[in-house]
Amino acid sequence: MKPATLFTLMASGALAAATPAIPGYSARARGTTTPQQHVPLRLLHTFTPISTVTGKGNSRLFASSSSSKESTKGGAVLALPNNNLSTAQATIRIPAAKMPTAGPTANNTVGEYAASFWVGIDSATDACADSGAGSLRAGVDIFWDGTLGGQQRPFAWYQGPGQAGEVGFDEGFSVAEGDVVRFTLEAGAAGPDGKEVEAVAVVAENFGRNVSRVIRKNAVPVKRVRQVLPAEAGGKRLCRGEAAWMVEDFPLQGRPEFPTALVNFTSVTFNAGVVLDDGKEMDLTDAEVLDIRLEAQGGRLTSCEVVGGAKVRCARVVRDD
């Protein structure tokens, strides 16, 4: 079933007052703020774990087993029931942000659209919730803002165990549409006693736009930052039981009630990498795939798949199923 009323296109003023918009899908009231003073759009990187059902030593995701269930996440989740994940990696080319032309959020020329692409450890499901696990993730957000002429500068960020908010890589690590970026999450290998965990760190590398998406392991990036984080913060540490590559429809900061209208990113491909404690790599053959499903925005908004055991590809769609 589709919502009968679509959001309006009114930014502000009398017409907007006369035509109530569905919150979250209309332009923000900006008062007298001039474009020069405009604060860039930012997403609220909330942690909303997908429920898992555990059995036979393997976990199954709720969101993917029920097509009627709403989900702000699309992509793939790989469960590591032995909690032996050491690093998770994603390489993506930052997609262009466009206004969607299909579905109930289409063609809002004064609207705001966004999408987030991230790689995470213990960040997608509640599989580790019992142990009070924290989560580690890093990614990039893209924006389209009709009141500011369309596509905006992407924003790269990371979030460590116990951190409520994200931290921008801003300084020294700017990114642009078309850049190939690689994020590596280091969750540490367990020591001989199986308890001591090395530093938790995030490495972000930008290879620029003139490279193929497949990056040699030892390729030299244009920019590289490595951020070491406390292995434990706010009583939370990683349980290293799951890696995920996700497209997520987060709310905008200041408007936590609704996921933002999902931008048209056409498609994104994560080149994924997983390394276990023993140094062995693992492929994504056993990963579970899920799609963003938001009825208010037209139903299923992504079409995600694991390709060749090493890539997660998600296309932006609007589907009824």
305 is catalytic: no
Contact present, 265 and 96 (Cβ < 8 Å): yes
Pick from 242, 277, 288, 291 the residue near ligand NAG by CB under 6 A: 277
CB of 218 vs ligand NAG, minimal distance in Å: 19
84 is an interface residue for ligand NAG by CB under 6 A:
yes
276 is an interface residue for ligand NAG by CB under 6 A:
yes
* Residue count, binding to ligand NAG (CB under 6 A): 20
Tell me the C-alpha distance between 245 and 185, whole Å.
12
Nearer to ligand NAG, 103 or 120 (CB): 103
Binding mask 90-109 toward ligand NAG (x if CB under 6 A, else -) reads --------x-xxxx--xx--
* Tokens coding 254: 């200041």
266 is an interface residue for ligand NAG by CB under 6 A:
yes
Residue type, 145: D
Return the H-helix or E-strand segment holding 202: strand 200-206
* Tokens coding 171: 């300084």
Within 8 A by CB and 6+ apart from 208, the residues are 179, 180, 222
**Residue whose tokens read 């079933």:** 1
Nearer to ligand NAG, 166 or 291 (CB): 291
Query: What are residue 147's phi and psi, to 5 degrees?
Result: -75, -10
Tell me the C-alpha distance between 300 and 280, whole Å.
35
Catalytic residue of the set 112, 166, 248, 288: 248
CA distances from 317 to 21, 35, 51, 230, 313 (A): 24, 32, 24, 39, 13
278 is an interface residue for ligand NAG by CB under 6 A:
yes
CB of 107 vs ligand NAG, minimal distance in Å: 4
Give the three-state DSSP class for 49. coil
Pick from 210, 220, 235, 257 the residue near ligand NAG by CB under 6 A: 210
CB of 283 vs ligand NAG, minimal distance in Å: 11
CB of 177 vs ligand NAG, minimal distance in Å: 13
Percent of residues in the chain assigned helix, strand, coil, to nearest 5: 5, 40, 50
CB of 168 vs ligand NAG, minimal distance in Å: 23
Q: What is the set of active-site residues?
A: 248
Residues forming contacts to ligand NAG in the complex (CB under 6 A) are 80-82, 84, 98, 100-103, 106-107, 208, 210, 264, 266, 276-278, 316, 318
